[in-house]
């Protein structure tokens, strides 16, 4: 929650950060709420950064902060056609890989659902992301 950890393998290093969902502040639970500044505090900008942020819309702030890759979910790929069109009104991406400025965004459709236990036009997925040094 709003934290960053370094991951080191051999001579390579990457920072992995995670922030709360943008709606967490309204939960009423003390300490909940997205705080990207806290997650990135003290970070070395020369080290690549991967951000875990539940909602793709959080990529705007991530791009402004210099995040290299944001991994998100939340959309369930639209889950029910034609609901995916409504999801696009709130989110910059519904599924797959896209880019916002210099930040890459990957949105997984996930394996679950929200509301009715069904999917129409939105295949479930368990994504595997492999990071490689340039």
Produce one character per residue of 85-96: b if its CB has 16 or more CB atoms within 10 Å, e if not. eebeeebbbbbe
pLDDT at 3: 97
- pLDDT tens digit string along 46-81? 999 999 999 999 999 999 999 999 999 988 888 888
What's the rounded mean pLDDT across residues 82-110? Answer: 91
- Look at residue 59 in the predicted model and tell me its pLDDT: 97
Question: In the prediction, which pLDDT does 20 show?
Answer: 94
Please give the Cα distance from 84 to 121 (Å, whole number). Answer: 9
With respect to residue 120, please indicate whether it lies within any of the assigned structural domains: no
Q: Is residue 49 part of a domain?
A: yes
Confirm whether 115 is domain-assigned. Answer: no
Residue 133 has pLDDT above 80, yes or no: no
pTM of the full structure: 0.90
Report if residue 132 sits inside a domain: no
128 in a domain, yes or no? no
Helical (H) or strand (E) element with 132: none
In this structure, is residue 8 part of a structural domain?
Answer: yes
**pLDDT tens-digit series, residues 5-58:** 999 988 889 999 999 999 998 998 988 999 999 999 999 999 999 999 999 999
Domain count along the chain: 1
134, pLDDT greater than 80: no
Range of the domain at 9: 3-107
Instruction: Assign residue 96 a region (left: φ > 0; alpha: ψ between -120 and 50; beta: otherwise).
Output: left
Q: Does residue 97 surpass a pLDDT of 90?
A: yes
Q: Is residue 99 part of a domain?
A: yes
């Amino acid at each position: 929650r709003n934290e960053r950890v370094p991951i080191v393998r051999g001579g390579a290093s990457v920072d992995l950060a995670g922030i709360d969902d943008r709606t967490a502040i309204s939960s009423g639970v003390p300490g909940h709420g997205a705080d990207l500044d806290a997650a990135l505090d003290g970070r070395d900008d020369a080290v690549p950064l991967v951000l875990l942020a539940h909602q793709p819309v959080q990529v705007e702030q991530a791009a402004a902060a210099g995040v290299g890759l944001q991994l998100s979910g939340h959309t369930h790929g639209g889950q029910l056609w034609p609901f995916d069109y409504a999801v696009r009104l709130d989110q910059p991406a519904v599924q797959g890989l896209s880019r916002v400025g210099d930040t890459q965004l990957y949105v997984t459709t996930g394996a679950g659902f929200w509301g009715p236990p069904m999917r129409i036009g939105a295949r479930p997925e368990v994504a595997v992301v492999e990071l490689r040094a340039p």
